[in-house]
Amino acid sequence: MKLNKIKINSYGNLQNREIELNKLNIIYGENEAGKSTLQNFILSMFYGMDKKKGKEAFSDVQKYTPWNGSEDFSGKIAYELDNSSKYEVFRNFNKKDPEIYDEQGMDITKSFVIDKKVGNTFFMNQVGLDRDILEKTVFIKQNNLKIDSGDQDILIQKVSNIVESGDEEISFKKAIDSLNKRKLNEVGTDKSQDRPINVAEENIRKYEKELEEVKSARDSKEEIEYSLQRIESDINKELNNTKIYNKIKEIVDNDRQEEEKIKAKEEVIKENDDKILRLKNDIENLDKKKSNKLYIVLLIVSILISALGIFFIKSNFKYLLLILIPIVLILDIINRNKNSSKHLNSELKVLEETNNKLKTEAEEQRKNLLKLNELKKVDLIKANGSQIEDLFSSNINLAISNNTRKINELELEKHKRELDYKDIEPKMERLSHLEELLSIEEENLEILKERQEEFDIAKELLTQSYTEMKKNITPKFNEEFNSLVNIFTNGKYSRVAFNEGIFVEVSNGQMVSIEGLSYGTIQEIYLALRLAMVKELSKENIPIILDEPFAYFDDNRIAKVLESLNKIDNQVIIFSCSNREKEIIEKLGLEYNYIKL
């Protein structure tokens, strides 16, 4: 691949610039002249602008928006591929997608895949490299030819990992270490502590132990619930008995009250009978008195005395009165007895009438009471069974007292069982919560074990992939790498080997680490490494862009590198702020293109 022409309408501090490029190119510019801007322009033309902010304060859009306020934030680039196919790309950087034309000027933009995130992927389709890999291989910054020793690994590991991850700095060993670290942090192992899987296993043990301690709560709960149902049933039964007993008591009490009323009447009747008997005796006595001969004799004697007195004592009125008094007294007694008899008969009649009425009422009241109570008893017995019949003749108050005692005892037992139930409820809630927690942790443990297995499978697949890629890539890659090292070192080193680092064969046949070589030779070998890597990964011979790469090289070393770069198929573009490279190229007599910014 070769860049032929660059046209910048406006990009950062560059405006209205046209640059034509050849095989070997030197782009000269002092500091702040726009060298870095031009490099970013090339990347932006092929891949679009990065609109996200990186470590810098501004994104590429903010950084390279024209400084002069021009609205023509655009440019064009012409290039040809190794198969001689030529293309032109125009890009308005205010828009996402470019316009792509073939050699006949036909718009072929839509013939390439459009990605929703990155836009048109034409350049990745053509060369097989994304922007990140391109920057890490052929875009070489100042003093950055060498790959740092801390990132070194077996070269084939770097190539295989670039294929997998797009990052040459990630080795197979580091990938495995990264998986092991992620496995440790995200899951854990049997030997780790306080990692997710260890925490899950510990929680499961803790929850199972606690469940063993509280699992009897479920059985206790069922027993208490059954007990409460039984007690509630017994209470309802006794309450129903209470209603029956109260009805019986009502009947019994009513019987007693009515019986007391009847008895009271019978007592009155009895008293009246006694009075009647006495009255009859009194009347009989009075009658006897009236027929008594004494009253007759007294009356006759009184009359004789009165007659004699009248006869013999005529003249004395005082004595006459004395004679008449006995007579009057006797007559009075007779009269009074007569009146008493009459009164007693009257009183006797009233008492006999009253008693007869009371006897009739008492008899009727007893009949009604028996009839009513019999009906109530029959209704209760029908509703509640014949077993309650005996209660009518027993001590109902004692039955009610026993009933009340039973209810109180049952209520007390119920209250105790309810307290027991309340004590169990927190345990049951904890039991339910523990079962839920245990289920969650068991599911979590299964997920973690699956995740653990995924990491193991990933490591196994990575190892298998690395082994397979090593078989397929190493021979071709070694051949290219050795060829480039031979060119760059002018034949001094033609064999490179890998064993936890890069080793070269010296003149006596010994394999030595490149770390023991001169700084310039190391730089040449790492440049060969980069080119071999991109050669392996890309479909094209990608242009090599060097930005002040030889700052620490002496003139002889620069001359050697430039001669070597001129021998390879890749186009070379060197950015420099001095004329050092230009002077050396001219001394070497190499054909080159000089552009001044």
Predicted confidence (pLDDT) per residue in 506-530, tens digit: 888 888 888 888 877 888 888 888 8
- Residue where one domain finishes, among candidates 467, 488, 521: 467
Residue 482, in any domain of the structure: no
Structural domain including 270 reads: 190-467
> Is the model's pLDDT at 5 over the cut of 60?
yes
pLDDT score recorded for residue 111: 92
Residue 234, in any domain of the structure: yes
- Do 407 and 313 lie in one domain? The reply is yes
d(CA 454, CA 504): 39
**Section 385-393 average pLDDT:** 62
Predicted confidence (pLDDT) per residue in 534-564, tens digit: 777 777 899 999 998 887 778 888 898 898 8
Residue 535, in any domain of the structure: yes
Separate counts of helices (H) and strands (E) for the chain = 14, 15
pLDDT score recorded for residue 43: 94
- Do 259 and 407 lie in one domain? The reply is yes
Residue 369: closest CA among 268, 261, 267: 261
- Do 214 and 83 lie in one domain? The reply is no
pLDDT score recorded for residue 500: 59
- Do 258 and 122 lie in one domain? The reply is no
Residues whose CB is less than 8 angstroms from the CB of residue 485 and which lie 6 or more positions away in sequence, other chains included: 493, 494, 496, 504, 524, 525, 528
**What is the overall mean pLDDT for the chain?**
79
**Section 491-512 average pLDDT:** 82
- pLDDT bin (cut points 50, 70, 90) of residue 317 is low
- Do 257 and 311 lie in one domain? The reply is yes
The answer, as to whether pTM is greater than 0.75, is: no
Residue 478, in any domain of the structure: no
- Residue where one domain finishes, among candidates 412, 444, 467: 467
Residues whose CB is less than 8 angstroms from the CB of residue 361 and which lie 6 or more positions away in sequence, other chains included: 265
> Is the model's pLDDT at 462 over the cut of 60?
yes
- Residue where one domain finishes, among candidates 450, 467, 484: 467
**Section 318-333 average pLDDT:** 59
- Do 194 and 335 lie in one domain? The reply is yes
Residue 480, in any domain of the structure: no
CATH code at position 31: 3.40.50.300
- pLDDT bin (cut points 50, 70, 90) of residue 107 is very high
Helix or strand (DSSP H, E) at 385? none
Residue 94 CB: number of other CB atoms within 10 A? 12
Residue 53, in any domain of the structure: yes
Predicted confidence (pLDDT) per residue in 394-450, tens digit: 777 888 888 889 989 999 998 998 888 787 777 767 777 788 888 898 899 899 888
Determine the longest span between alpha carbons in the chain, in angstroms. Answer: 222
- Do 236 and 337 lie in one domain? The reply is yes
Residue 178, in any domain of the structure: no
Q: What are phi and psi of 529, to 5 degrees?
A: -60, -45
d(CA 439, CA 426): 19
- Do 520 and 435 lie in one domain? The reply is no
Residue 170, in any domain of the structure: no
> Is the model's pLDDT at 314 over the cut of 60?
no
**Section 305-332 average pLDDT:** 59
d(CA 571, CA 565): 9
- Do 218 and 334 lie in one domain? The reply is yes
Count Cα atoms within 13 angstroms, Cβ side, for 332. 6
Least confident of 29-43, 150-164, 262-276, 352-366: 150-164
Predicted confidence (pLDDT) per residue in 435-454, tens digit: 888 889 889 989 988 888 88
- Do 240 and 306 lie in one domain? The reply is yes
**Section 457-472 average pLDDT:** 73
With beta carbons less than 8 A apart as the criterion, state whether 2 and 570 touch.
no
- Do 19 and 130 lie in one domain? The reply is yes
- Do 201 and 140 lie in one domain? The reply is no
Strand order in the sheet with 74-80: 14-20, 2-11, 74-80, 86-92, 99-101
Least confident of 48-52, 61-65, 239-243: 48-52
Least confident of 165-169, 265-269, 275-279: 165-169
With beta carbons less than 8 A apart as the criterion, state whether 262 and 362 touch.
yes
Task: Indicate the number of domains in the chain.
Answer: 2
